[in-house]
Amino acid sequence: MDLKRISFFIFAFSFFFSSAQIETPEGRQINIVYGANFTKDEVQFPGASIFSKDDERQVQFEHQGADLWCDIAIFYSQENRLKAIGNVRLQQGDSIEMNSSYMSYNGDSKLAKAWEKVDLTDGQMTLTTDTLYFNREKQESFYNSGGKVVDSVNVLTSKIGTYFTELKKVQFRNDVHIDNPEYIIDSEQLDYYRISKNAYMYGPSTITGEEYKIYCERGFYDTKIEQGYGIKNTRIDYDNKIIEGDSLYFDKTSEFASATNNIQITDTINNGVIRAHYAEVFKAKDSVFATKRAVSINLVQQDSLYMHGDTLMVTGKPEARILRAFRNAKFYKTDLSGKCDSIHSEEKTGITQLIKNPILWNVDNQITGDSIHLISDLETEKLDSLKVLGNAFIISLDTIGKTGYNQAKGKDLFGKFIENELKIIDLIRNTEVIYYMYNDDDELIGINKTICSKIRLLMANSDIEDITFFVNPDGDIFPDKDLPIESRKLKGFIWRGDERILSKDDIFDEDDNNIELVKIRGIDNPIDIDAEEKERQENENDPVNKISTAKAIKPKKVAIKKVQSP
């Protein structure tokens, strides 16, 4: 053995002997494994021992299950700390390895600070940054000057980040960005679990995929399968639709999205809106299902048309949309409203059908029949005509006398709209009319009661302006005193003025207005995401109890019975 090596071992023996006398917390003393070249510099590093590598290997230290290698080490044995310089490597067990140009390490606190070209890896993930703080006591690493994490799926960057070794979780803050071949994520704060590749988002966050864009201020996303949810100020731009609600769920594979509480779905092509408290969107079927105070809103001639049903369904491509309202269906616009059991509205034909027990109010006119069809002009999209098939009946209150009713009935009714106003009404087959006639001074002339084969009513400001009788009319104008009260109503007369829908709020009944909303877990009280992530992974690994990652927030689907469409 050469003289230099003998001298070093003599010094090292003396050094270790003297170090053994230093009072340090039990088991916390940093140990020298290989010192190589030794020197001291009391001017620059008072109290420190300086070790440097030789031609064979680097300087090596060991401390409580971790080994550190470097080119030069400045070791303060009494303070139980060191500064490592040049090609620094810290190895903890078989999993954690950290490399840098410089590192300071305190054996008592087990705190390490690494800077310049820092990288930390656990074999599956690599974290790179300019400066990294590593707390071996808590098994946490921290950076605040910008960092990047790369694993087999994603590249994640942020200004601030903390890696929790035992949980295998990275918490990113400030300008968080995830790059994936299929999508990108931007967030203010995001917790990422390295094993499951699950991301939990806090603060303004955006996920942008090839065919969708999701915004939320609190949410979850499985980055492997592009499935997740948002539970605060959430919005999804998906399939030419904007979906907003308290809680939104999205699954790319099944091309499905659902929403719960205070939902609005906007059709960006047809400029229609659906509001509800539960909704589902099926991209492959190009359809929307909505319930719980569901309402469809569309612009018709600068006026909003509100359509409601216990269940709403919209299907078909943008140019061939079909809207169905099932059970307790109602609609309202300023001069037209109605109700029935169900509504079927088809954009391609321009026909809206009111099915089963329909009633229509055109301003002050009540119109009933077995079936009612509203037909729109396909070019102008304005209301064009009206069909009432079977037992057609039109009634309006005598607006002058206020006691009687103007009435007309027939087998069928055909109406014509001009500039959105019902102007012409034709009643055919077995027609009858009762009409109160006044002079220019609003004095009652008499009551016209006539039957014939066909009647034409010309309307002005929703009042009858002119009546034409066709084919052998039989009737007369009776003085008020000569027509008994019981003869002033046609057979089948039923006045339903108390049911008239006078505003958009009238389309909802008491049950609609008193719906108890689903409580969205995690909005009022923070979720323990570490516990949730553990449960999620356990369920995914258990084939018997496996559940969807959306179970926590995706409500049970409402059963839909098949309804025979006309």
Total residue count of the chain as it appears in this document: 566
Average pLDDT over residues 84-89: 96
Residue 564 has pLDDT above 50, yes or no: no
Task: State how far the Cα of 370 lies from the Cα of 311, in Å rounded to an integer.
Answer: 22
Selecting from 2.60.450.10, 3.30.70.890, 1.10.3720.10, 2.160.10.10, what CATH number does the domain 350-514 have?
Answer: 2.60.450.10
pLDDT of residue 544: 47
CA distances from 434 to 398, 408, 476, 489, 539 (A): 11, 6, 10, 8, 73
Say whether 350-514 and 1-107 share the same fold. Answer: yes
- Per-residue pLDDT of 352-381, as tens digits, reads 999 999 999 988 899 999 999 999 888 877
Helix, strand, coil shares of the chain, percent, nearest 5, are 10, 55, 35
pLDDT of residue 381: 75
pLDDT of residue 5: 42
Residue 510 has pLDDT above 50, yes or no: yes
Distance, CA of 322 to chain centre? 23
Task: State how far the Cα of 495 lies from the Cα of 395, in Å rounded to an integer.
Answer: 8
Q: Are 339 and 501 in contact, with CB atoms under 8 Å apart? A: yes
φ/ψ (deg, to 5) at 184: -130, 150
Q: How many CB atoms lie within 10 A of CB 381?
A: 14
Give the lowest-confidence range in 14-18, 44-48, 332-336: 14-18
Tell me the two tokens of residue 539. 């369920």
CATH no. for 1-107: 2.60.450
Task: State how far the Cα of 564 lies from the Cα of 483, in Å rounded to an integer.
Answer: 47
Q: Are 366 and 394 in contact, with CB atoms under 8 Å apart? A: yes
Average pLDDT over residues 377-403: 89
Spell out the domain ranges in the chain: 1-107, 350-514
- Per-residue pLDDT of 406-464, as tens digits, reads 999 999 999 998 877 889 999 999 999 999 999 988 899 999 999 998 999 998 877 78
Tell me the two tokens of residue 242. 């904007």
Give the lowest-confidence range in 131-135, 236-240, 246-250: 236-240
